[in-house]
Structure 1
């Protein structure tokens, strides 16, 4: 039996010990699985991701990536994941190519592998003529593409992706989704947060719905539809019904 690539157990935490944002959150992502993390603004999605990334320390609970915690083996833990943030964060005086090379070196990617991946990604996201441009001269959508390309050049076991569609044009969104499906078919695991439910409904294997910092339901679309008594309804309608009912 396969072990989860990401396993979150009874996670509680936030910005204030007296008022935690997250309450006993439990999430698993298996090898080759794409899981959609959805919720209203303030539900705890970004806080959950910050805990996974090690930017916040849990008040309670444990997070394991690739079978280990940050405390037990920091290098293995961090080397097994890559993050695509909601807002692009780049070095203004570095080119697109330099960003990719820097990321590849940080993850120990072989030069030959890097060159193949960089060529594939630049073509996929139509950034071939921007590879030697400084990031300060790029549009917001192009900066987002660079962040995505950096994450994908590394090929870790787990991708944490937060609202990746913001700023992307329709072709960019389609390219990103197609490439995520390719990575998933190769065994990569993806935890994806997005408000565009009508899109991710067709791509994610399972969904986790956060509300007021708690997991109110999780499972396949069919499973959460049955749990909500809304068989055959789209994800968007099920989600609205659950959060408007005030379940927590």
Structure 2
């Protein structure tokens, strides 16, 4: 499975936020989408999942665009938004059942997986709770569990560490590693550059809606001209003096 973003121009109005963005994410790979606030990270992810339509360019998942085969395209995706989105009138159990129905999952086979994830994130005794009872961090964990019970080929994760405690952060990184090993691709936006440097296979750096650099850490260091540079040093160099408009 490969995600191909080619010449993407888009945004929320006629004035584009994204300006000719191109990159790929391959199976068994975690790609970090790196950028300051307003660089275009969330806008890029919203185009990939279909909440925004490109003004120009193409987005293909396994060679298929959303317009060509919406059902196949969407069935390959799982998305964890930056801000948890839950239905106030549904319990945690009902959120999981809704996810299973939406993806056409066999509930008999999926519930054991869900129970394992619920226990990992310490939600296993909260199946009858409503979102009003959850903290922000707990809501984020619900989103993570709903995404990872699926058999998606591509996981889109937007700023996942906001609101997560260190144990939950570690649990999430373990889940990502397991999905990669099973053959999935993962695209993750994050401000936590130290974690990105440790866990991501490649990076796509955005500034003012444009890709300023991409590649693995060794390639970025070569471009930067300093072999011991951290990801944070490299990004700040590429973003230096720029003001974001997205």
Asked if these proteins are the same fold (TM beyond 0.5), I'd say yes
- SS in structure 2 opposite 1:10? strand
Q: Indicate conservation of the 8 Å contact 2:208/2:243, yes or no.
A: no
Q: Indicate conservation of the 8 Å contact 1:93/1:136, yes or no.
A: no
Distance (Å, rounded) in 2 between the aligned partners of 1:116 and 1:200:
30
CA deviation string 1:66-117 (max 9, x = no partner):
2200111000001100110000110112111111111011101112321121
Correspondence 1:5 to 2:2 = yes
Correspondence 1:217 to 2:213 = yes
Distance (Å, rounded) in 2 between the aligned partners of 1:113 and 1:233:
46
Distance (Å, rounded) in 2 between the aligned partners of 1:204 and 1:245:
26
Distance (Å, rounded) in 2 between the aligned partners of 1:117 and 1:229:
46
Correspondence 1:119 to 2:119 = no
Structure 2 length normalisation: TM-score?
0.96
- SS in structure 1 opposite 2:125? helix
Aligned residues: 244
Per mean C-alpha deviation after superposition, the further-off stretch among 231-240 and 68-77 is: 231-240
1:91 maps to: 87
Q: Indicate conservation of the 8 Å contact 2:208/2:242, yes or no.
A: no
Q: Indicate conservation of the 8 Å contact 2:3/2:61, yes or no.
A: yes
Stretches of structure 1 lacking an aligned partner (at least 5 in a row): none
Q: What aligned pairs does 1:119-158 form with structure 2 within 5 A after superposition? A: 119-158=115-154
Q: Where has structure 1 moved over 6 Å in runs of 4 or more?
A: none
Correspondence 1:103 to 2:84 = no
Distance (Å, rounded) in 1 between the aligned partners of 2:122 and 2:75:
28
- SS in structure 1 opposite 2:218? helix
Stretches of structure 2 lacking an aligned partner (at least 5 in a row): none
Q: Indicate conservation of the 8 Å contact 2:33/2:187, yes or no.
A: yes
- SS in structure 1 opposite 2:111? helix
Q: Alpha-carbon deviation of 1:246?
A: 4.2
1:176 maps to: 172
